[in-house]
Each structure stands twice: as C-alpha cells, then as structure tokens.
A and B are shown apart, each in its own frame.
Chain A
Amino acid sequence: MRLIVCKWFVASSLLFSLATAQTRPQYGGTLRVATSAAFTSLDPADRTQVDSFARNSVTALIFDTLIRLDSSGRPQPSLAISWGGSRDSKRWNLRIRSGLVFHDGSAVTPEAVAASLRLVNQAWNVLAELDSVTIQSDSPVPTMPAMLALPGNAIVKRGSGQSVSGTGPFRVSDWQPGKMLTLAANEDCWRGRPYLDTIEVNLGMPARDEVAAIDTERSTLIQLPGEMAKRMSGHTAVSSPAIELVAIIFARDPQGQDEMTRRDALALSLDRASIHNVLLQGAGDAQSSILPDWMTGYGALFPSQADLPRAKRLMQQVASSPAWTLKYDPADTLLRLLAERIALNAKDAGLVITPVTVGPFDARLVRVVLPVADAWVDLAWISEIAGTPISPATEMSVEQLYAAEQRVLAAKRIIPLLHLPAVYAATKSLRGWSAGATGTWQIADAWQEPSVP
C-alpha cells in the first residue's frame, strides 16, 4: 500500500532537519567543504560556467539577491524591502534596503544595483531612482520577483579584472580558480555576522576522494552522489528535494514527422524504473515531466513507465532510422552509465544511439540544476536551454503551468529522464546547516559544536 504523505512536507522537513538544536550557535571555527565542481569564476553572471549546486551555494554565501524565495517558493525581502508591479507586469519598482555596504566598503546604491542587473538582463531597462530601482520590460514579466531571486541576478559590484564584491555573509579571502576558495566572515553583514570565521571550499575533488576526506576529517561537508547516501555511516547525510533534472536535449528541432515519431519512440523506450532502482539505488524520482512532482503536484499526468510495444509500433511507421549520437560529460560517471542504458533501451525499440564524449552530436544527456524554487521560472529556464523558450504566462495558475510544460514537451526537443536530489554529508559536529529547496548547501547559519572537555 502506498503511503499517504505530504510530499512537500517531507521535502521541506529536510530543510529544517538539521537546523534545530537546543544548544545555541557557537561562534568561530573553519568549515572545510569538498566538492567535485570546479568553477573558475565567482561572478554569478558568468554563463560560461557550468551550473552546479556548489556554484549556487557559493554565490549565496558571497552575494545577495534583491528578493529571495522561501522554502515554499514565496518571495521574501532581501536587499529589496518592498516591491510592486504594474497591472501589465511590464514595470516593477523595488525599494532598496538602506545602509547596505559591499564587502569592499562601498555603499549599495540604487545605481550600483541597477548596474548589476543591467549587465545580466540586457532586455530590461533598469533605472536607478532615489531609494529604489525600476525595471521596465517590453513584454510582461509576472514572474519578476522569482526571477530576481535567481543566482545570476545576485547584486554584484564588479571591479577591475575578475574581482567581484557582494553583500553576503562571507567575503572572498583567497581565490584560486577551479581549485580553492577561502571565505572569511563578513563582520558587518546586514543579516548579522555568520557564526563561522572561515569557509574553505576545495574544488574539483572526485567523489571517492571526498568520502575519504570526510572520513579522515580533512573535510567537514561534502557533496555525494545520491546512491552513496545510505553508505555514509558515522556522518550526517541530508538530501534536498529532487531538484536536478537529467534529460536528453536534442540539438535541433525535429526534421519532419518521421523524426518526431522516432523521438516519441525513444521516450517510450526508456526504462526509468530500472534506472531508478538499479543505477540510482532508489535515489531521486524517475519522472517524465520537466518539473519535479513536488513542485507542481501534477506529476501523475506524466507516465514514467516504459512502453516498449508501443515504441516498436511507432518505429514500424517510420521509413528509416538513422543512428543518433548522444553526447555526455565524460567526467560524470552517472551520465556515462545513463547514456549506455539509454542506448540499450533505444536498441530494444529499434533505434540506434551511440554515446559519445567529443565531436558533433544529435542530442546531449545533461544535468540541469533548477535555479529557484519557482515552477514558472524553472520551466522558462529549462525551455530556454532546450531551445524552445516559452512566452510569458498571462495567468500563473497550475493549469497554465501544466499547459506550458505540455507545449515545451510537444516541441520534442527535450526528453526528461529523472530528477535527482542534492545529497550532502557532514561531520556530526556541524550544526545549523541544511540542504535548501534548490539543492544548495545552506551554511550561512552553520556553526561547529566544540568538543566538550
């Protein structure tokens, strides 16, 4: 019998599971984080970097956005203390919190905020006013509050070269791109000084080495592949809601009816249950929807079971079946396994797929980190990556969201495979941390329990 559970509560309870303690937070100490991510820029606006939980987490430590989303996806004040939109959602005004300073000591002015937003959103006309900024757009942007919560829209003061300055709880102390990042507590943080003195982020560490690092206490916090969470005895392992989409994204629109049919056949051939149970050992959710069910509630309308007979029937309708190449990141072990499994499933339906790591490709197997806990913004984000941008919704209902997702899928540029959570393990002395709804490690409020003599 299937357990009746409040899915969101289960997800959200994880956010708080480690945030509770009777002992008051203690100040001081150094937190050592190890991650396989190896980003080479700290600028949130740098789209050349691969999105990852680690990069988004670091962004949230150094920078603030104007608006943040709470665990239910509701907009909350951050650097902006209030905001309002015009009836047509083409004009938004945001009042900026007073008395803010960047890490370099300069004031956070409306001009500085406007300059930061302009760089990232060139389609917007951003105007600085006395104590506020106004954003104007040619088309309606009803999701503006959630869009301003995107990591890429963090407020950044850019200096010479690659130097960046934020308002977040930690400032950059030392930065070796792709290797090591050292952050120091921002003593004058507008949200209060963080408890930790220092955070050291060791970048580009393979997962196996990460586990060894926490076992030998060289690291305090690590990110794990989901299937390894159950093996982390002696440490505290925490999962976020399933927030990372793994999907096949085709390089171009289908060329004719035959190719549309072949893409349908591929989607029907995918044995998600087997992938979920065997490859992922039960981690994540095997879903054929772009957005995870916990975020929308309508996941039941997207069947995830394979239908091989129907896939074969579809393949009988097409004249020919050219081989496809499926590109994946060779450094990603899970993607390699998934690509091989997809090729096997496709072969059963009569399709030929060759996994490749270099050269031209027909489709890519990718991980996409959903950037905010807002279904509309995430759908727009993914649809853009898939090459099928959606037009702004006039009515932000669940029904409209479902219709929009259906439209993106109907373009046949993307085949969702599954959703994965972010999984972290930490030593038991680390308190007050959590995995956020967007899979980031939230350590701005973390502290280390001293050993009692």
Chain B
Amino acid sequence: MTEAIYNAPSLRIITFQGRQRLVTCLVSLLFFPGFLRADDLFNSEQELAHKIAAITGPGAVALTIENQSSLTPREVDSVSSGLRATLESLSVHIVAAERAAATVSVTLSENPQFYVWTAAIKVGTDTSATLTSTRRPERAGMKSDAFPMTLRKTPLWEQTDRILDVKVLQEKPAPFEIAVLDSEAVTFYMQHGSQWAMEQKLLIFHTRPWPRDLRGRLLVARDRTLDVYLPGVRCETKKQTLLTLDCRNSDDPWPIGDVSDATSPQSAFYTAKRNFFTGDVTPHIGKFATVPKFYSAVAMPRTGYVLWLFSGTDGLLHLVDGLSDQPRKQGWGSDIAVIRSACGSGWLLLATVDSATVSNFVRAYDLPDREPIAVSPPLEFEGAVTALWPASDGQSAMVVTLDRETGKYEAYRLQVVCSQ
C-alpha cells in the first residue's frame, strides 16, 4: 500500500533518442528561452507525426493545423514546423490539397490536465483518427515586476495554501529571510542564490475549526521573536536550543494600527468564529471603549491626537478621533493599511479599491483633513486581495492575492515610490 495521496494517471510518451531530437531541443531552447516545455512538445510532435505516417504511409498529404489550445503563436509555429519536418523525414510530403492523396487535419487542443493533439485523416473515402497527449506544465513561477508607478509591488512568495501574512526578517538589501504564516504553520525561508529554501516549519496547534475567511497576523516582537495572532489562537516563538512555536487558545486582543510604534500600542478583540474585530478596543480611544465592528483599522497621527480609521462591517469608513465617530461612505474594500512615506504629509493610507472588473486594485491616499485624496494611480493585482497588513518597518505593506488562473496565493511587498 502506498502512502501517496494520489497517483495521477501516467502518460505513455514515446521518446526518441538521437541527434535530431537533441538538435531540435537545442534550437527550441536557443530561440525560445521561455519555452520550457520544448522537450515535452517535441516528444508529442514526434509521436503524432509517426502515428500520422503509420496511417497515410509515404506519399503526398495536405496538412492543416488549427490551434484551439493555450499554446502561444510562437509555440504553435514551432510545433507546426517540427511536425512538418518530422513528416517529411518519414517520407510524408506536404503538398497542396489538389495534389494530395490524403488530407490530415491536426487540431492542437487541451483539457484541464493535458495538451491533446488530434489528427483527422482522410485517405480517399476512408477516414481515421489518431491523437497524442502530454501533461500540461504547472504555470511558471511568479513574474518579476517593476511598476514604474507611485506604488510598487515586489513579489515575495507564492503557495497553494492561503497565505495569511508574510514578514521580511532579513534584507541585504533585497529580502533575504522571510516568515510565511498560513493556516497550519509558520514557515521560514532563506534565499540561496536565486532560490528560496525552507529553513524551518513550525506547526500551529489549534483545536477549533478555522473560520472560512481565515485571517491572521505575524508580528515581530522587540526581542525578535514572532507573535502569531489567529482567530481564537495566539502563538509565540521561543528560542531555546531550537526555535519552537507555543500556541494556545486565546481571546487576547490583536494589535492594530502601526505596530512598529510600540509607544502607543492599540489592540482590538477579534472574533474567534468570524472574520472581523468585535469593535471592543483596548485601551479606549478617547471616550470610545467600543467602535463599530470592523475588518481593519489604521491610525493617522495628527498634531495632538490620533485619527483612527475603521473599515466597518457595515460598509462604512468610520473616522474616530476620540471624541466623535464620523461614518462616511467611501466605496473602498474591507482592507486598509497605513505606511510612513517621504511623500505627501508623511503618512499614506493604502486601501483596496472597488472595481467593476474582477481585478483588484490598491491605491494610496493622503488624508490632509478628513477627506481622502488619491495620490497614486490604482495598482492592479491579477487576483483578489485577501490580506493587506502594514509591514514591521512601517514603511511598506504586505498584500496577499489569490491568482484566479493558478489558484495560488501570492504575497507582495508594497512600497511607495516618490518619484512622481
């Protein structure tokens, strides 16, 4: 009995040894450096050509190729010329339809897991068909990004499990060590060359099921240990001989606002079975012991006081200055964060922006008074924003998105560039 989760169906792929394969692969890789599937496509090309030749025999055929798959035009061109060349090498000569003894209609298609190439062959009045398939590759890794815009996103990490938060632990000058929080573990990764390698994985112990829209925070304490806040659970790393993670059921309030400023720690209670803060804050914010239930909060320092902004579960943005609660309809999403910046008034508000499209945007706002003013173009993400937290340095934020195409969660560091 095997312990593996599931043995995926295996494919019968005929491999061909020899100089021709080597040359074709090298040529493919030389001219198409991003063409990582050259070898697989080459094998399918060869297999289909041999199957066609076995049906038509040597002679003149008319060949049409139609692409109904996600192969790029360049890949289709490569497959097309490879197929033609292999057929020619098998004495199947491609000619115009009026001079052909047979017609071959090749369709490059696909299903969720395989590229499927079919050939419908007509020799006189006889029709026959053949096909070949090869497993589709997983989508290539995260694209690098360099947005020449006010907001710049830097990809940090991607994985299939929902990412709740990511902290950069070391930089030199690019992120060198990170900690990734997901529903089951805090995992440490370190750069080795251009690759991230896992250093340690600390499992999270919890007895209750997580809420559906799971959220969590990973905070770096002053003694460089990590604090983990999850619904109904609190964990801390402990450095003994080895780094360990101690977790317990807890309704301790979560730090909110700019946690890098430890002189004015503000906390709020989070519901263990939901996805929002209860509204109970500690210490009080001026006269308020309770504010409306909210998803996220930011503190904007003002002369003599702190203006708190709460993204309420009622869809309103609540501006709380300690004396009053001014709700306003802002049209933002649920997640907001604040970062320090040399641009504008020194504090910038980041908010997810509602959009009619399925794409998601984050935009920077200045708040000179009570009226947010957009100061950056919206920065688009390919997937839905599932988390937006300020980073430990207070000068950047962490955005997590769900990529619709791959089903993977992607974590980005978001920074403000003042050049514009």
Contact at B111–A192, with CB atoms within 8 Å? no
Residues of B within 8 A of A20 (CB): 358, 360, 383-384, 402, 404
Residues of A within 8 A of B295 (CB): 24
**Complex Cα spacing A2 to B361, Å:** 33
Contact at A450–B113, with CB atoms within 8 Å? no
**Complex Cα spacing A294 to B385, Å:** 29
Q: Binary interface profile of B, 366-400, with partner A (CB < 8 Å = 1, else 0)?
A: 00000000000000000111000000000000000
CB distance from A148 to the nearest CB of B (A): 11
Residues of B within 8 A of A12 (CB): 112, 405
Number of A-B contacts (CB under 8 A): 185
CB distance from A57 to the nearest CB of B (A): 18
Known: A84-B1, A93-B1, A375-B111. A16 touches B404 (CB 8 A): yes
**Complex Cα spacing A103 to B69, Å:** 45
- Enumerate B1-23 residues with CB–CB distance to A below 8 Å: 1-12
Contact at B9–A402, with CB atoms within 8 Å? no
User: Interface-forming stretch among A42-50, A66-74, A354-362?
Assistant: A66-74
**Which chain A residue shows the least CB distance to B360?**
A22
- Enumerate A381-428 residues with CB–CB distance to B below 8 Å: 395-399, 402
Q: Binary interface profile of A, 181-203, with partner B (CB < 8 Å = 1, else 0)?
A: 00000011111111100000000
Contact at B211–A193, with CB atoms within 8 Å? yes
A452, CB-defined interface residue at 8 Å: yes
A316, CB-defined interface residue at 8 Å: no
Residue with the highest number of chain A CB atoms closer than 10 Å, among B131, B383, B404: B131
Residues of B within 8 A of A298 (CB): 109, 116, 118, 131
B213 contact from A7, A24, A71, A189, Cβ within 8 A:
A24
- Enumerate B120-150 residues with CB–CB distance to A below 8 Å: 120, 129, 131-133
Known: A23-B354, A24-B275, A301-B120. A396 touches B213 (CB 8 A): no
- Enumerate B245-296 residues with CB–CB distance to A below 8 Å: 273-276, 295
User: Interface-forming stretch among A75-83, A115-123, A224-232, A278-286?
Assistant: A75-83
Residues of A within 8 A of B114 (CB): 297, 398
Residues of A within 8 A of B407 (CB): 70-71
A8, CB-defined interface residue at 8 Å: yes
Residues of A within 8 A of B115 (CB): 297
CB distance from A28 to the nearest CB of B (A): 10
**Complex Cα spacing A26 to B213, Å:** 10
Known: A193-B211, A395-B10. A17 touches B112 (CB 8 A): no
Contact at B131–A399, with CB atoms within 8 Å? yes
A331, CB-defined interface residue at 8 Å: no
**Complex Cα spacing A199 to B383, Å:** 28
How many of chain B's residues touch chain A, expressed as a range? 35 or more
How many of chain A's residues touch chain B, expressed as a range? 35 or more
**Complex Cα spacing A391 to B131, Å:** 22
**Complex Cα spacing A70 to B3, Å:** 21
B214, CB-defined interface residue at 8 Å: yes
Known: A13-B404, A191-B212, A445-B212. A85 touches B7 (CB 8 A): yes
Residues of B within 8 A of A86 (CB): 1-2
Contact at A399–B383, with CB atoms within 8 Å? no
CB distance from B354 to the nearest CB of A (A): 6
Contact at A84–B129, with CB atoms within 8 Å? no
**18 sample A-B contacts, Cβ–Cβ < 8 Å, listed by A number:** A8-B111, A17-B358, A21-B333, A22-B353, A24-B276, A71-B407, A77-B5, A83-B6, A86-B2, A192-B209, A192-B212, A195-B213, A301-B129, A373-B112, A397-B11, A398-B114, A399-B133, A452-B329
Besides A192-B210, A452-B316, 4 new A-B residue pairs in contact (Cβ under 8 A), listed by A number: A20-B404, A24-B295, A142-B9, A397-B11
Using a CB–CB cutoff of 8 Å, the interface residues on chain A facing chain B are: 2, 4-9, 12-13, 16-17, 19-27, 70-75, 77, 82-86, 91, 93, 142, 145, 187-195, 293-301, 303, 373, 375, 395-399, 402, 445, 449-450, 452-453
Using a CB–CB cutoff of 8 Å, the interface residues on chain B facing chain A are: 1-12, 66-70, 73, 105, 107, 109-116, 118, 120, 129, 131-133, 209-214, 273-276, 295, 313-316, 329, 332-335, 352-355, 358, 360-361, 383-385, 402, 404-405, 407
